[in-house]
Chain A
Amino acid sequence: MEPSEIHIVLNANSLISDLLKYNEELIIQKLTELNKNFNRLKNPVLRKVLAKRVSVAQACRIAGCSLNEFFDVLKPLGFKAAHEAVEVDRLPLSLAASFNKIIDLDVRPILAAGNDPLKMILTTAAGLKNGEVLKVINTFEPVPLINLLENKGYRSFIDIAGPELVNTYFLKKEAQPDELIMDISELSVEADGLTELMKAYQLHIMDVRPFQMPKPMTMILDKLETLKTTEALYVRHRKVPVHLLPVLKERGFDFRVMETAEAVILFIYKP
C-alpha cells in the first residue's frame, strides 16, 4: 500500500501491530531513526510477540521517547494522532434555534463533590429522542467525552459561555438538524461548478458520509419531502449514489454531481 493512501487515526492506546499492518518496513525504519530502542521490532520473533500486546504509549515509555515525537515521525506516513482528529465544532447560532428540546445536565456540582459524572452523561445521552439535545454544563472542554460520544454516533458542539463555563451540546447524528444557509459564498471553493445554478435557491446542507447504504438514500429522500420550491439540497456523499438518481427523476427533481477532495457533492433541485 502506498503511504499516501493511509489516513489512519492513532491514539496512545493503539497497538503497535495495528500500525505495522500498513507498511511494516518503512515504519520500523522511521522509528529506529527516532530511537535506537525500536530496533527490537526488526527481530521477527520479538515483533510477533510484542507488537500485538504493546500500545503506542507503552512503547514510548519503554523506548524512552515522548508521544509527540512518536506521532511526528508517523505523520508524514499518513497517520493522524487521535487528539488532532477531534474537530470541536463551535455552535452556530442558526443551529441553536432549531433544537426542539434541550436537556440540561450541570456536572459542576458532581465534579466538585469528587464524583465521576460519566455514567450519568452516557445514560442521559442514550435516552435522547429525535430532535432532543443534551447540554452538558462544565468548567472546561470535555475532550475525552466528545471523543467517546462521537465514536458512538453523536455530534457535538461547543459553546464557551464565559470563563469557567463551557456548554457542550450532544445530539444523535441521525437527528442532526441541517443548516439552512442563504449565502453560498461559504461554500465557494467546494461549489465552483455549481455556483450559477445554486444562486436561485436557499440551500439545505446535509452530510450523509457517516452512514451505510442504503441509509443515505432514504435520508435524502425524506429531506426532499419537506423541501419548499425555493429550496434545494446540497449533499456531501462518500460516492455517487447511482441508485438514487432514477428515484430523483421519478419525483421530478434534477441533480448535478461534482467531486471535491473530501466528498462527492450532490446538488438536488426542482427545475
Chain B
Amino acid sequence: MNMITKQHPELYRIVRAHYLASAVCFVLIGVLFFFASADFAGHYFQPKLLAITHLAALGWVTMVIFGAAYQLVPVILETGLSGYRLPWLSFVAFLSGLVLLVCSFWRFEPGLCMQGGALLLLTGMLGFTIVIFLTGKRLKNKKENIHQEMINTSCIWLLATGVLGVLLVFNLRYAFLPQDHLQFLRLHAHMGMGGWFLLLVIGVSSKLVPMFLVSRKQNLRLLDWVYYLLNGGLLAFVIDTYLEGINNRTYLIALLPTAAFIIYFIYLIQCYRSRMKRRLDLPMMYTMLSFILLLAALLIQPLIINAHVQNITQGIALTKLYGLLVLMGWLSLLILGQAFKTLPFLVWLKIYGPGTGKEPTPLPSDLYSQKLLIIQGIAFTGFILSMITMALSGLATPARIASGCLLLTALCYLLNLTRVLTHKKTTGHA
C-alpha cells in the first residue's frame, strides 16, 4: 500500500511560485482594465483587449491551474509527481513567453517579440502536458479513471489551442491562413474555454467536490456522458465552424456542451445533497456560485449565434459579455474560492504534516483570513455587476468602477494568499 503522507518539499515551492505569479497577474489585470476602460466600447479584436484577455486566460487562470494541477493530480491519482525539474522549466518558459506576448499585444507589434512569446508559451504548455502524462503513467493499477481521462484530454485541447494561437500570431505577420482571422480566433477561444478550462475543471472538481463536501453519492456514469457530450460538441463546433462559419447548425451544436454542463450540474447537486459536511464554507459557496456564472454565459450562446446568422452588430457586445463571464466571471470566482480550499492544505501538510500526536493542531481553514475573503466577495460582486453594465452599454464609467472593484478583489486575494503562505506554526485550535 503506497502512502503519500510525506509531501515533497520541491512540490511546495513549485505550487507556491505558480499561485503567486498568477495572483500578481490578477492584480495587473485590475490595473490594465483601468487604462483600457475606453476601449471596451469598441470591437473585441483590438490590442488592449487582446493583451488583457491573454493575461487573464494564461497568466491568471492557466498559471494557477498548472500550480493546482501539480498539487491535485497526485492527490486524485494517489501517486507522486513524475519529476520536479520539468515543472520549473515549464514555469520559466511560460512566464517569460507570457510577458513577451502580453507586452507585444498591448503595443501591437506582431514581430519577433510576439512570435517568440507565443512559442515560449507553447513550450511551457508542452512541459506541463508531459508532466501530467508521465504522472498518469506511474499509476500501478491501470483501471479506467474518468477523472484522469478528462485531465489528459484537456491537456490535448490546451496544446491544440496553443498551436492554433501560435499560427494566429504568425498569421498577423504573414497572413497565410486560408480563412478569416476572426474565424480562427473563435475556434482558438472555444478550444481554450471548452476543451482546456471546462474539461479540466470538470475532471478535477468531480473528484474534489465530493471530497470537500464528504459526499456519500457519486454517480460516475453521469461523468462519462459529460465527457463524450462535451468533446463531441467541441469537435463538431471546430469542424463545422471551420468549414461553414457560424450557421443555423451551430444552435444544435451548442446544445451538446450545454447538455454536458447540465448533466455535470446534476452530478454536483447529487454530491451536495448527499454531503455529510453540513455547513458550507465560504470558499465552497464561491465555487458553487461560480457555476451559475458559467450557466449564464452558456445561455448567451444562442443570442450570439442568432446575431451572427442574422448579421446584426449586437453580437459584438454579447461576445464581449460572453468572454468576460467565462474568464473574469466563472473562472475567476472559481479560483477565488478554490485557492483557499487547496493552498491551505498544502501549507498545512508542510508545517503540521502527520504530527507526533502530542499536541492539537489548527485546521487548514484557520490559515486564511475569513474577513478578507468576505471583502473579496463583496468587491467581486461589484465587479460582476459593473462589468455586465459595461459590456452591454460600452460606457467608460462602469468600466472604471469595474476596474476599481477588480483591483480591490485582486489585492484582497493576494494579501490573503500571502497570509496563508507565510503562516507560522502555532498549536491549539484557533
A contact residues vs B (CB 8 Å cutoff) = 191-194, 197, 209-210, 213-214, 217-218, 221, 238-240, 242-247, 249-250, 254-259, 263-265, 267
Contact A240 B354 (CB under 8 A): yes
CA distance A114 to B352 in the complex (A): 60
CA distance A69 to B5 in the complex (A): 35
Which single member of A192, A193, A250, A267 contacts B279 (CB below 8 Å)?
A: A250
User: In the complex, what's the smallest C-beta–C-beta distance from B219 to chain A, in angstroms?
Assistant: 14
The answer to the question of B312 belonging to the interface, with a C-beta cut-off of 8 Å to chain A, is no
Q: What 13 additional pairs, Cβ within 8 angstroms, besides A259-B5, A264-B5? A: A214-B210, A217-B214, A217-B276, A221-B276, A239-B3, A242-B348, A242-B349, A245-B363, A256-B355, A256-B360, A259-B354, A264-B3, A265-B357
- Give 4 closest A-B pairs by Cβ, nearest first: A258-B357, A193-B357, A259-B354, A193-B356
Which single member of A242, A249, A256 contacts B357 (CB below 8 Å)?
A: A256
Contact B357 A243 (CB under 8 A): no
User: In the complex, what's the smallest C-beta–C-beta distance from A206 to chain B, in angstroms?
Assistant: 15
What A residues does B315 contact at CB under 8 A? none
Contact A239 B5 (CB under 8 A): yes
Contact A250 B278 (CB under 8 A): yes
Contact B276 A239 (CB under 8 A): no
Contact B214 A240 (CB under 8 A): no
What B residues does A255 contact at CB under 8 A? 360
Q: Which of B210-247 contact A (CB under 8 A)?
A: 210-212, 214-216, 218
What B residues does A238 contact at CB under 8 A? 1-4
User: In the complex, what's the smallest C-beta–C-beta distance from A245 to chain B, in angstroms?
Assistant: 6
Contact B214 A254 (CB under 8 A): no
Which single member of A194, A214, A258 contacts B354 (CB below 8 Å)?
A: A258
Contact B429 A209 (CB under 8 A): no
The answer to the question of B127 belonging to the interface, with a C-beta cut-off of 8 Å to chain A, is no
Which single member of A192, A239, A265 contacts B4 (CB below 8 Å)?
A: A239
Which single member of B278, B281, B354 contacts A257 (CB below 8 Å)?
A: B354
User: In the complex, what's the smallest C-beta–C-beta distance from A20 to chain B, in angstroms?
Assistant: 15
CA distance A243 to B353 in the complex (A): 14
Contact A243 B360 (CB under 8 A): no
Can you name 25 A-B pairs with beta carbons within 8 Å?
A191-B357, A192-B357, A194-B357, A210-B1, A214-B210, A217-B214, A217-B276, A238-B1, A240-B349, A240-B353, A242-B345, A242-B349, A243-B211, A243-B214, A245-B363, A246-B363, A247-B277, A254-B429, A255-B360, A257-B357, A257-B361, A258-B354, A259-B5, A264-B3, A264-B5
Q: Which of B232-269 contact A (CB under 8 A)?
A: none
CA distance A265 to B353 in the complex (A): 12
Contact A193 B358 (CB under 8 A): yes
What B residues does A245 contact at CB under 8 A? 363-364
CA distance A209 to B3 in the complex (A): 9
The answer to the question of B381 belonging to the interface, with a C-beta cut-off of 8 Å to chain A, is no
The answer to the question of B365 belonging to the interface, with a C-beta cut-off of 8 Å to chain A, is yes
Task: Give the one of B3, B352, B363 with max A CB within 10 A.
Answer: B3
CA distance A267 to B359 in the complex (A): 12
Contact A243 B212 (CB under 8 A): yes
CA distance A254 to B429 in the complex (A): 9
Given A256-B357, A258-B357, CB of A213 within 8 Å of CB of B211: yes
CA distance A217 to B348 in the complex (A): 19
User: In the complex, what's the smallest C-beta–C-beta distance from A201 to chain B, in angstroms?
Assistant: 14
Contact A218 B357 (CB under 8 A): no
What B residues does A192 contact at CB under 8 A? 357
User: In the complex, what's the smallest C-beta–C-beta distance from B287 to chain A, in angstroms?
Assistant: 14
User: In the complex, what's the smallest C-beta–C-beta distance from A70 to chain B, in angstroms?
Assistant: 22
Contact B1 A249 (CB under 8 A): no
User: In the complex, what's the smallest C-beta–C-beta distance from A115 to chain B, in angstroms?
Assistant: 35
CA distance A255 to B360 in the complex (A): 7
Contact B357 A214 (CB under 8 A): no
What A residues does B278 contact at CB under 8 A? 250
CA distance A243 to B271 in the complex (A): 15
Q: Which of B325-350 contact A (CB under 8 A)?
A: 345, 348-349
Contact A258 B355 (CB under 8 A): yes
Contact A214 B3 (CB under 8 A): no
Given A242-B349, A250-B279, CB of A214 within 8 Å of CB of B358: no
Contact B3 A263 (CB under 8 A): yes
Contact B356 A258 (CB under 8 A): yes
Closest to B218 in A: A214
User: In the complex, what's the smallest C-beta–C-beta distance from B197 to chain A, in angstroms?
Assistant: 24
Which single member of B276, B353, B429 contacts A249 (CB below 8 Å)?
A: B429
User: In the complex, what's the smallest C-beta–C-beta distance from B215 to chain A, in angstroms?
Assistant: 7
User: In the complex, what's the smallest C-beta–C-beta distance from B202 to chain A, in angstroms?
Assistant: 18
Task: Give the one of A254, A258, A267 with max B CB within 10 A.
Answer: A258
Task: Give the one of B216, B276, B356 with max A CB within 10 A.
Answer: B276
CA distance A265 to B364 in the complex (A): 18
* Chain B window 359-402, contacts with chain A (Cβ cutoff 8 Å), 1 for yes, 0 for no: 01101110000000000000000000000000000000000000
Given A193-B358, A217-B214, CB of A240 within 8 Å of CB of B5: yes
User: In the complex, what's the smallest C-beta–C-beta distance from A256 to chain B, in angstroms?
Assistant: 4
Contact A218 B348 (CB under 8 A): no
Contact B363 A249 (CB under 8 A): yes
What B residues does A249 contact at CB under 8 A? 363, 429
Task: Give the one of A194, A245, A263 with max B CB within 10 A.
Answer: A245
CA distance A214 to B274 in the complex (A): 12
